[in-house]
Structure 1
Amino acid sequence: MYLTGQGVPQNKTKAAKWFQKAADQGHAIAQLTLGIMYDTGQGVPQNKTKAAEWFQKAADQGHAIAQLTLGAMYDTGQGVPQNKTKAAEWFQKAADQGNAIAQLNLGVMYDTGLGVPQNKTKAAEWFQKAASQGHAKAQFQLGFMYHTGQGVPKNDTKAAEWFQKAADQGNAIAQLNLGVMYDAGLGVPQNKTKAVAWLQKAADQGDKNALKALRILSR
C-alpha cells in the first residue's frame, strides 16, 4: 500500500522497509519485490548485487518470475558475474513452470548454443510453448524456423500462420516477413496489395528492410 499510495501517502522508502521485514521471514513475493526495488533504485539505493541476492532467495523458493529475472541477470552479468550456463538453468526452471518469456529465452539459447549445447529442435519446442501462449516474438521465431526448416520440417504455410499471429500483435519483423511472403506467394496466395500493406506497417515502425522492399515494389 505504501508502494502504490493506496490508503496511505505513497512512500517507497517505507514500502521497502516493510517488504524487508517480510522478506527476512522468507516471504517469496516480498523477496522478489525487494529485489525489483534494489534493481531499479526505488525506496532504496540502487544496488544490482543486492537485487540479485533477493531474486536468488525468491527463485530458490520456486518463484517463476524471480527465476526468470535471476536468469536475465546471469545472462547479462548484472549484479552477478555473467554466466550463460546459469542463465539457461534459471530460464529452464521458470520455463518449466510455464513462464512464456523464459520459454522464449531458453529457445533463443538453444537456437544459438549459448549456455546450452546448440539444439534447433529443442529451440523450436520452446518457441512453440511460448508462441502458444501468445508471445509475439516467439511466434515470429517459430515462423522463421518453419520458413527455414530449422528444428522443424520446412513449411511455409505454417511459417506464414505464425508470422501472421506475431504481425497482428504489431511485431515489425513479422510484418516484414509476412509482407515478403505475400509478395512471393510463399505459404499464402500471392497478393501484392497485402504485401504492401504489411510492409507499410513494418516501415511505419522504422523497419529499414521494409522501406527498401516498398521502394522495390513501387518501381
Structure 2
Amino acid sequence: MQSIFRSKRGRIGGALAAGLTLAAALAWSAATPRDSLPDDPRQLQVLAGPGRQPAALDRLRTLAERNTPLGRRALGEALLGNRESAVEAQVWLCIAAQAGDAHAAFLLGKTLMDGAAGIPRDPARGAMWLGAAAEAGHGGAAFHLGIAHRNGNGVGRDAIKAARWFQVAAEQGIPAAQFMLANAYRTGDGVPRDEREALRLYTEAAEQDHPEAVQTLAMAYRDGELGLARDEMQARHFMLETAHALKHPALRP
C-alpha cells in the first residue's frame, strides 16, 4: 500500500500548489491597483473569473484581441458560466481551438456535450471538438470522447473506439479512464477479455482514490474475482479505502 500513500502525497501537493496559485491571484485582486494588473493570461483569468475583477477581464480581452494564443483561450474560459457572455465565450474558444489550442478544443467540446449557462447541448459538435483535441493528445478529451462512443452520444456507439480513447487517456494517468478501460478488459467490451490487465488498471485507478475502482477491488477480494484469492482482510481494507475515496474522490477531467 506504500504506492497508494505516495500517490496521495503527490496529489495533495499538487492541490496545495493550485490552491496557493488561486489564493495569490485573488490576493492580487484585492490589493493591486487597477492600472498595475499582470499580463499573464492565466493570472488574469483567475482575476476575471473567481476574482470578478472587470479590469482584469478588460485586460484579458485586449490580449485576446491582439491574437495572444493563451489569451484567447483564457478569455473564453473566464467567460464560461456567465449566461450573458456565453456566445462570446464560445467565439474565443473556437478561435483558439481553430488555431491549434487542444485545451480550448477540449473546453469547447465538453461544454457543447454537457451544455452550460446560455449554451445549449450540441453533442455532434461537441464530439467533433473533443475528437480534434483527442487527436492532438489531450487526455481529458480522449476520456470524454471514449464516453461519447460508449454511449452513442454525438457519435455512433462503438465499443472498440471507446476502448481506444480510454486507452489514450489511461496512459496519461487519468483514473476515470483507467477504470473505464479496466471494465472493458474485464468483460471483453471492445478489447480482448483480460482479467489481469483489468486488475492492473483498477489498481492504478484506486491508487488515485477513484471510488468505484477501490470498491471493485474490495469486491474482488471478497468474492475471489479478477484472479485474486478470497481475502477478507484485504476486502475490509479496501472497503475502508472506499469510504475515504468517496470523501476525497479523484477529479474527472
TM-score with structure 2 setting the length: 0.73
Q: 1:53 pairs with 62, 71, 91, which one?
A: 91
Q: Percent identical across equivalent pairs?
A: 29
Aligned position for 2:107: 69
- Superposition pairs of residues 38-187 of structure 1, within 5 angstroms: 38-40=79-81, 47-78=85-116, 79-187=118-226
1:198 counterpart = 2:238: yes
> Do the aligned partners of residues 169 and 46 (structure 1) sit closer, same or farther apart at CA in structure 2, a change above 3 Å counting?
farther
> 1:28–1:58: 8 Å Cα contact kept in structure 2?
yes
Q: What residue ranges of structure 2 are gaps of 5+ in the alignment?
A: 1-23, 38-46, 48-52, 248-253
User: In 1, distance between residues paired with 2:246 and 2:129?
Assistant: 34
1:203 aligned partner, one-letter code: A
> 1:28–1:57: 8 Å Cα contact kept in structure 2?
no
Larger mean CA deviation between 162-171 and 151-160 belongs to 151-160
Aligned position for 2:21: none
TM-score with structure 1 setting the length: 0.84
Larger mean CA deviation between 180-189 and 157-166 belongs to 180-189
Secondary structure of the 1:150 match is coil
Superposition CA RMSD, Å: 2.2
1:197 aligned partner, one-letter code: H
Shift of residue 182, structure 1, vs aligned partner = 1.7
Secondary structure of the 1:81 match is coil
1:32 counterpart = 2:73: yes
Q: Report the count of equivalent residues.
A: 202
User: In 1, distance between residues paired with 2:198 and 2:56?
Assistant: 47
Larger RCO (alpha carbons 8 Å, 6+ apart): 2
Secondary structure of the 1:186 match is coil
